[in-house]
Amino acid sequence: MNEKNGFSNKVSFEENVLMPQEEMLEQKKSNNKLTIAVPKECSENENRVSLAPHAVEMLVNHGHTVLIEHDAGLSANFPDHEYSEMGGEIVSNSNEIFRADIIIKVAPLTKKEITQLKGKQVVISSLQISTQDADYFKLLQRKKISALAFEFIKDEDNKVFPVTESMSEISGSAAILIAAEYLSNVNNGKGEMLGGISGVSPTDLVVLGATTAGEYAVRTALGLGASVKVFDKSIGRLRQLQRDIGQHVFTSIIQPRVVKKALKTADVVIGALPMADEVPFLVSEEAVMNMKPNSIIIDIGIDHGGCFETSTVCSHERPIFKKYNVIHYCVPNIPSRVARTASYALSNILGALLIQIGECGNLRHLIRENKGIRNGVYMYDGILTKERIGRKYDISSRDIDLLLAAF
């Protein structure tokens, strides 16, 4: 079978059809040696890298070639020599990087990067639909790209989004550590320690959203000794959080009057409402005005619009602002703040995905077998496969299951 770039062309597919079933099964299971490229991230506030050195070593040991653009891992404190020692090939020419069989990135490709692609390749990255436009998808179509967005990829049971869950865990835990920084005198805060000690009242902390990020914020806050209240729209999510935490915490369905009362006494408020909610609950400007002086808002939800009416997008360089004497931390992409840890977490998932592609022979075989990974495909051989993207940008789309049946 003549395979290139992880795909079978039309002739080779027809040859497969004429093969005896036993030979087809053997062909399907044969490993395909891939050339995988890791470009340097160029997006603002993005310090993560898609593959850490340990994942490169794993891929090289499976017979794949891994190209690393010069300094691609530097922001996550992975210098080039750590990659080369693990078998990665350091490349200075970005054009060479974008001609590999598989391009794997954290942030979406820029339009300039898409023009550098040779075509008929696999691209694995985030998508961040709200930041794209119709031209972005049309450029990918012209190059006949097959693209997976890792925020859409699910686990083997087709239920959990592993990358999203992993990054949410980091965001939730990091949010509490960030709050602790801005409570201290060092950052002109109230001069309080987040948590509690004997004889001193504990920090009063409110978490809006019983999501994965919310759960890990609660876990970290409880571990430090804070007094925690959790609000959510779903009683089911609140019950699940209570079971997962394994200890009693105050929980309540979101009611504006109750939330407003809780915010009045809160030292820290974490906004962690779920991305799936079409209209996130907004804490009103009035409610923020009534919060205690130098109390802190950490808006994890700023990635998808924000949970507070007073929120404005900030950057890692200028992460906070004060409004109504309340400190606001509204930086998108909190995991990038701990880029090394986040890169390890990404690598554990994406490295395993790449090995699966190689073991299956190509992407088509893998997405036939694995519904969770199939859910991550938003473009297949230049054909858009997500109806909601097509509706939003007036681009025709095809169902991925029908496409796989046709090819």
pLDDT in tens, 1-39: 444 444 444 333 333 444 444 444 444 445 689 999 999
Half-sphere exposure of 278 (CA within 13 A, CB side): 0
Cβ neighbours, 10 Å, residue 239 = 13
pLDDT tens for each residue of 159-175: 889 999 999 999 999 99
Q: Which of 345, 343, 395, 373 is nearest to 6 (CA)?
A: 373
pLDDT tens for each residue of 182-204: 999 988 889 999 998 889 999 99
Largest Cα–Cα distance of the chain, in whole Å? 80
Q: Which of 318, 280, 349 is nearest to 104 (CA)?
A: 349
- pLDDT band for position 406 (50/70/90)? confident
Examine the pLDDT at 118 and tell me if it is beyond 90.
yes
Contacts of 258 (CB under 8 A, 6+ apart): 231, 252
77: left (phi > 0), else alpha (psi -120 to 50), else beta? Answer: left
Average pLDDT over residues 224-231: 96
Between the CA atoms of 141, 146, 151 and 155, what dihedral angle is there, to the nearest 10 degrees? 150
Question: Distance (Å, rounded) from C-alpha 28 to C-alpha 366?
Answer: 10
Give the pLDDT of residue 131. 83
Identify how many contiguous H helices and E strands the chain contains and give both numbers.
Answer: 17, 17
Q: Which of 76, 75, 73, 72 is nearest to 94 (CA)?
A: 72
Give the pLDDT of residue 15. 38
Question: Distance (Å, rounded) from C-alpha 136 to C-alpha 183?
Answer: 42
DSSP 108: P
Question: Distance (Å, rounded) from C-alpha 381 to C-alpha 142?
Answer: 10
Give the type of residue at 154: K
Question: Distance (Å, rounded) from C-alpha 272 to C-alpha 274?
Answer: 6
- Residue with the bigger pLDDT between 129 and 19: it is 129
Question: Distance (Å, rounded) from C-alpha 226 to C-alpha 263?
Answer: 15
Give the pLDDT of residue 30. 54
Half-sphere exposure of 358 (CA within 13 A, CB side): 21
Q: Which of 52, 102, 60 is nearest to 82 (CA)?
A: 52
Q: Six-digit token pair at 217?
A: 């914020």
Give yes or no for a contact between 273 and 211, defined as CB atoms under 8 angstroms apart.
Answer: yes
Give the pLDDT of residue 12. 37
- pLDDT band for position 280 (50/70/90)? low
Contacts of 169 (CB under 8 A, 6+ apart): 212, 213, 216, 345
Question: Distance (Å, rounded) from C-alpha 135 to C-alpha 113?
Answer: 14
- Domains observed in the chain: 3-149+339-406 (3.40.50.720), 168-332 (3.40.50.720)
φ and ψ at 36, to 5 degrees?
-115, 135
Question: Distance (Å, rounded) from C-alpha 335 to C-alpha 320?
Answer: 17
How confident is the prediction for the chain on average, in pLDDT?
89
Half-sphere exposure of 95 (CA within 13 A, CB side): 0
